[in-house]
């Protein structure tokens, strides 16, 4: 029998929610404020929590953030039930770590349906959670790809998200996406996933205190099987993470996955250097304008000083973020002394739509030219042992890529 905890300072909603869930074989507990809600949650370990926002003392947002910082509630489904229905209210709920958001007054049938879906989703996630199976044997030939630019607005996060999803769908191998843009990271937003656990949850550990269980406790999983770690929303949370601890976590993660894709911050500070220290490939993203080209030249100079191979480890990706008057990509390549490995055409509507809806375009619009380009690029960046052999059970993504490659040879 699933345990459901209702946290609301208005007793009438205890009754309304309880009546809505009658007949579903749930055991219902209630709390009249945030403090009591935290105490009851820790006591009864509910399978699902329904929480109000405005309560005396501790708000619902604070309740959720507090629970998400505790490992035993990292995956517990939480539904925010509130009279506040504005966009900012929903964003605040999402950032706190809420799974669902429902406004008062509510339809009993809709509440019951959402509770049922959340409980089923939690059950599936428990069965497939990375915490359940801890990889102790290092993966052979793991490939780590970082997406980087010294200039914001180049589309690095969108490229990283869709590339990682493409790799997962191509090979159905262990793939993870890491958001290291600690200043309000965007990966969770682009995946439309609530911030249950983030890098901030390992801040209290020293490097030698990390183990597979701790690291796996902050890993979430997307619907296609791709794993990911989200960046915290608040910069103050990121400030608590020691770069040595992050580096130890990155090395541990690389040992557990076939493909690691990292969305890097637009700098060369410690978090960036920790990732670059163990990466296999850099995707340097630029837009066709002089400011971006200058930033790319500065980045290349630093890559060289870090002993990266211009020929084997650095790939230039040009993303056309404006419709015309951009610098010719041939001239950009000549100026930087590096060939263009991928040219993404101007397609702002698709990028913006995907971000606002939280639906990555490579999955929602797989036949769009940009999606096909990213899918083909993911194939080209894949490990040689994967590319040279037809999979025993090829995925739909692999079949699409194979068909396009075959047609180009004709």
Tell me the average pLDDT across 100-129.
Answer: 84
Band of pLDDT at residue 27, cut at 50, 70 and 90: very high
Cβ neighbourhood burial of 352 (10 Å; 0-12, 13-18, 19+): exposed
Helix (H) or strand (E) holding 391: none
Express each pLDDT in 350-372 by its tens digit. 888 888 888 999 999 999 999 99
Mean pLDDT of the region 197-218? 89
Q: Name the residue with higher pLDDT: 135 or 331.
A: 331
The domain 2-128 having CATH identifier 3.40.50.2300: the answer here is yes
Residue 133 banded pLDDT, cuts 50, 70, 90: very low
Q: How confident is the prediction for the chain on average, in pLDDT?
A: 90
Check: pTM over 0.85? Answer yes or no. Answer: no
C-alpha to C-alpha distance for 264 and 266, rounded to whole angstroms: 7
Looking at residue 183, its pLDDT comes to 72
- The domain defined by 143-409 folds into Rossmann fold (3.40.50)
Q: Which pLDDT tens digit goes with each residue over 317-340?
A: 999 998 888 999 999 999 999 999
Tally the residues of the chain: 410
- Which pLDDT belongs to residue 344? 96
- Record the tokens describing residue 234, joined without a space: 């608040």
User: Coil, strand, or helix at residue 35?
Assistant: helix
- Domain-wise residue ranges, the chain: 2-128, 143-409
Same fold, 2-128 and 143-409: yes
* Band (127; pLDDT cuts 50, 70, 90): low
| Partner residues linked to 148 by β-bridges | 284
- Candidates 9, 395, 360; CA nearest to 192 is 360
What digits encode the pLDDT tens for the residues 77-105?
Answer: 999 998 877 778 877 888 888 888 899 98
Torsion of CA 226, 145, 200, 216, to 10 degrees: 40
The band of 134, judged by pLDDT with boundaries at 50, 70 and 90, is: very low
Per-residue pLDDT tens over the stretch 154-190: 999 999 999 999 999 999 999 999 999 987 668 988 9
Q: What is the mean pLDDT of residues 303-307?
A: 94
How far apart CA 123 and CA 116 sit, in angstroms, is 11
Residue 228 has pLDDT above 60, yes or no: yes
Using only C-alpha atoms, the chain has a radius of gyration, in whole angstroms, of: 23
Encoded tokens for 30: 């209630």
């Amino acid at each position: 029998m699933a345990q459901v905890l209702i946290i609301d300072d208005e007793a009438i909603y205890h009754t309304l929610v309880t009546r809505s869930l009658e007949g579903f074989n749930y055991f219902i507990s209630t709390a009249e404020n945030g403090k009591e809600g935290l105490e009851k949650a820790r006591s009864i370990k509910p399978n699902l929590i329904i929480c109000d926002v405005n309560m005396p003392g501790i708000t619902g947002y604070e309740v959720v953030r507090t629970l998400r910082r505790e490992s035993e509630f990292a995956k517990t489904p939480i539904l925010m039930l509130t009279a506040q229905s504005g966009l900012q209210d929903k964003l605040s709920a999402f950032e706190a770590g809420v799974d669902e958001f429902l406004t008062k007054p509510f339809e009993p049938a809709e509440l019951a349906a959402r509770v049922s879906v959340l409980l089923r989703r939690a059950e599936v996630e428990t069965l497939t959670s990375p915490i359940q199976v801890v990889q102790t044997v290092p993966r052979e030939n793991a490939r780590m790809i970082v997406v980087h630019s010294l200039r914001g607005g180049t589309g690095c996060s969108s490229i990283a998200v869709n590339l990682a999803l493409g790799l997962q769908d191509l090979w159905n191998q262990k793939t993870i996406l890491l958001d290291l843009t600690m200043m309000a990271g965007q990966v969770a937003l682009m995946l439309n996933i609530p911030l249950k656990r983030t890098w901030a949850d390992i801040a209290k550990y020293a490097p030698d205190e990390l183990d597979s269980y701790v690291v796996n406790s902050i890993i979430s999983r997307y619907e296609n099987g791709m794993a990911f770690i989200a960046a915290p929303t608040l910069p103050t949370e990121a400030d608590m993470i020691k770069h040595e601890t992050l580096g130890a976590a990155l090395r541990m993660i690389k040992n557990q996955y076939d493909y690691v894709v990292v969305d890097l911050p637009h700098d060369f500070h410690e978090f960036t250097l920790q990732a670059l220290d163990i990466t296999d490939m850099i995707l340097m993203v630029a837009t066709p304008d002089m400011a971006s080209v200058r930033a790319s030249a500065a980045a290349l100079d630093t890559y060289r000083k870090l002993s990266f191979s211009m020929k084997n480890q650095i790939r230039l990706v040009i993303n056309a973020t404006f419709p015309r008057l951009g610098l010719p990509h041939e001239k950009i390549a000549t100026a930087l002394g590096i060939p263009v490995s991928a040219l993404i055409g101007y397609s702002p509507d698709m990028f913006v739509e995907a971000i606002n809806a939280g639906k990555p375009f490579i999955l929602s619009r797989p036949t769009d030219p940009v999606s096909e380009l990213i899918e083909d690029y993911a194939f080209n960046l894949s490990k040689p042992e994967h590319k040279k052999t037809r999979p025993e059970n090829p995925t739909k993504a692999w079949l699409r890529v194979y068909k396009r490659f075959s047609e180009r040879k004709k």
